[in-house]
Structure 1
Amino acid sequence: MTDSLVPFPFQLVGFDLDGTLLDTSADLTGAVNHALALAGRPALDIAAVRPMIGGGAKRMLEHGLAATGGCEADEMAHLYRALLDHYEANISAGSLPFPGMIETLDALDAMGVKIAVCTNKFEHLADKLLTELGLRDRFFTLIGGDTMGKGNAKPSAAPIHEMIRRGGGGRTAFVGDSIYDVMAAKNAGVPSIVVRFGFLGGPAEDLGADAIIDRYEDLIPTLRAL
């Protein structure tokens, strides 16, 4: 029996945002370097910042400051606010969908699969980014790092459980690029897929996902195989 005649095994597929749906590294690096400049620190290149992305803006800034000499707690609050303001003002300047992502979302939608975003980026920033890129309406829901309250961002299972609840239930898979994504999926009891082209801090194999893809064209066959 051909794949087209076999029911698709998932009713809902959730996606991380930064490093999974979109390459946001240029804009995030710009925001980090804006904060570092205010602190009198040298700028970091995109290659250095990419592995810092995934745990939210504050953790990203903490890593950036640690890489350039550390930071006092009282200075951190000021720099964090400056980073967020700069990022929000330039949020979609250099961010782009990864190759094949749009076509893959189209294919999932054509099969009746509900697709959602579950990110550690603040919800209002994720909404602004997706809206400015004309992508927001593709997702039935968006859950940010602050949506579920303090302490309930990924790797907590809470965002994925809420995503499933909003989607009306059904077999779910989650696609991401970080240990936060894999652990959130494991904690929620759903299979995870890691994109090798994301903002990885090491080998994709070390994250413990159920599957790894090298390009978006491989996602739907991989979901079928799961």
Structure 2
Amino acid sequence: MQTSRFPFTVVAFDLDGTLVDTAPDLTAALNHALGSLGRPAIDPESVRHMVGHGARALLRQGLQATGTCDESLIDRGFPVFIDHYTAHIADTSRPYPGVAEALDRLDALGVKLAICTNKAESLALRLVEALGWQNRFAAIVGGDTLPVRKPDPTPLFAAIARAGGGPAAFVGDSITDTDTARAAALPCIAVTFGFRDRPAEELGATALIDHFDELIPALMKLQSPQI
């Protein structure tokens, strides 16, 4: 049963860079696609700053980082990327420390959990299944679930509604996530260890956490607007 002390009935999460460190497998798929186009490999740390807008955008940034880029190159490389990534989606991707315990604690409080990601829905579902999380989340909204994607707030609203609605907060790692939460007028907690293109302090999050054992206390301190 949910306690009256906890301020949220739904907590939504970004996926890549927030719940799961997917950089190694994304890097392998990106470099496989780049290699098929005669481009050099990119190091994983660089890829961490490119993730957050979907696979096609990641490939575009990879091409731009290694030479010229046009839509025809993206069209050629995209299926190569997707095929490789689908086959190796969780070879080395792992939840961040403390994620399982934090999700367990939220579940024990009666909180519904949701995912709102710019990853394609089919890939998000595949990753969740590979991690054994099939029954963890009440809703999963991907980057192609709706006609729009983050930072448009519509996918976040949809994820919250599909999880049952009510007071909600969003947990992410990038400016895309904090912009989404701001557009939705929802509080946002940003992790400091995820994928981003600027210092965590510049994301404009309601609160920052360095480890998932800080999540519940941080949520307890937040206001909870109604959805």
Distance 2:146 2:119 in 1: 12
SS where residue 137 of structure 1 aligns? coil
Q: State the match for 1:175 in structure 2.
A: 171
The question of 1:145 aligning with 2:143 is answered yes
* CA offsets 1:105-150 (integer angstroms, 9 cap, x no match): 000000000001110000011001110110121000100000012x
Moved over 4 A (4+): none
RMSD, matched Cα: 1.3
Give 1:6 deviation, angstroms: 5.7
SS where residue 33 of structure 2 aligns? helix
Give 1:42 deviation, angstroms: 0.9
The question of 1:222 aligning with 2:218 is answered yes
Q: State the match for 1:113 in structure 2.
A: 111
Q: State the match for 1:82 in structure 2.
A: 80
Distance 2:141 2:70 in 1: 31
Q: State the match for 1:186 in structure 2.
A: 182
Give 1:188 deviation, angstroms: 1.2
% identity of equivalent residues = 51
Give 1:5 deviation, angstroms: 7.3
CA contact (8 A) 2:112 2:164 kept: no
Moved more, 70-79 or 104-113: 70-79
SS where residue 135 of structure 2 aligns? helix
Distance 1:190 1:136 in 2: 26
Give 1:72 deviation, angstroms: 2.8
Q: State the match for 1:161 in structure 2.
A: 157
Distance 2:202 2:137 in 1: 29
Give 1:223 deviation, angstroms: 0.4
The question of 1:46 aligning with 2:14 is answered no
Distance 2:92 2:150 in 1: 25
* CA offsets 1:9-44 (integer angstroms, 9 cap, x no match): 111000000000000000000011011101111101
How many residues of Structure 1 are paired with residues of Structure 2 in the alignment?
221
Q: State the match for 1:209 in structure 2.
A: 205
Distance 1:75 1:166 in 2: 37
Q: Normalising to structure 1: TM-score of the pair? A: 0.95
Equivalent residues in 2 for 1:24-103, closer than 5 Å? 24-103=22-101
Q: State the match for 2:133 in structure 1.
A: 135
Q: State the match for 1:18 in structure 2.
A: 16
CA contact (8 A) 2:12 2:113 kept: yes
Give 1:168 deviation, angstroms: 2.5
Q: Normalising to structure 2: TM-score of the pair? A: 0.94
With over 3 angstroms needed to count, the CA separation of the structure-2 counterparts of 1:6 and 1:140, relative to structure 1, is: closer
Structure 2 alignment gaps of length 5 or more: 223-227
What letter is aligned with 2:164?
Answer: G
Structure 1 alignment gaps of length 5 or more: none
Distance 1:26 1:75 in 2: 23
What letter is aligned with 1:172?
Answer: A
